[in-house]
């Protein structure tokens, strides 16, 4: 997992000093949580019970959200979920501590992300 603002900070660093970052490849995952762990954090931070109920990836194709996305992109999401649920994405749990070296800032962990965006979670 990575906060979109951390991702933007990495992009800004690369764009701000292209010679330093030219040819570099950054893996940006600061925290590995499964969906049950994420639901637990959401429950604690939002003061309500949130549970994770797995949906077979193939069932995602029937969800209305698929009609709002570009078809190839949505299929990529579904395929990624199929591989994840089949245990065929071993790197999905890898965590890297490179954001501080790139941006000189600490990354935002999921719990802090929820706190930072609490109003948005409560509005939905």
Q: What confidence tens digit (pLDDT) does each residue in 55-113 have?
A: 888 898 888 888 888 989 999 989 988 888 887 877 777 899 999 999 999 999 999 99
One domain, residues 22 and 70: no
More confident residue, 123 or 76: 76
Helix (H) or strand (E) holding 114: helix 110-116
Please give the Cα distance from 9 to 53 (Å, whole number): 33
Average predicted confidence (pLDDT) for the chain: 91
Query: Would you say residue 124 has pLDDT above 70?
Result: no
One domain, residues 52 and 86: yes
Structural domain span for residue 87? 34-92
**Six token digits for residue 3:** 């906060």
CB 105 within 8 A of CB 32: no
One domain, residues 18 and 28: yes
Please give the Cα distance from 84 to 78 (Å, whole number): 10
Task: Tell me the whole-structure pTM to 2 decimals.
Answer: 0.77
Domain count, the chain: 2
One domain, residues 79 and 123: no
Local confidence band at 117 (pLDDT 50, 70, 90 cut-offs): very high
pLDDT at residue 111 in the model:
97
């Amino acid at each position: 997992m990575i906060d979109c603002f951390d991702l933007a900070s990495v992009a800004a660093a690369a764009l701000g000093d292209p010679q330093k970052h030219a040819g570099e490849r950054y893996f940006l995952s600061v925290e590995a949580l499964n969906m049950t762990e994420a639901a637990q954090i959401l429950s604690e931070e939002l003061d309500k019970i949130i549970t994770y109920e797995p949906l077979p990836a193939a069932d995602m194709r029937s969800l209305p959200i698929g009609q709002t996305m570009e078809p190839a992109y949505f299929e990529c999401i579904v395929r990624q979920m199929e591989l994840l649920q089949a245990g065929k994405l071993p790197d999905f749990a890898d965590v890297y501590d490179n954001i501080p070296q790139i941006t000189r800032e600490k990354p935002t962990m999921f719990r802090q992300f929820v706190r930072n965006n609490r109003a948005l979670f409560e509005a939905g």
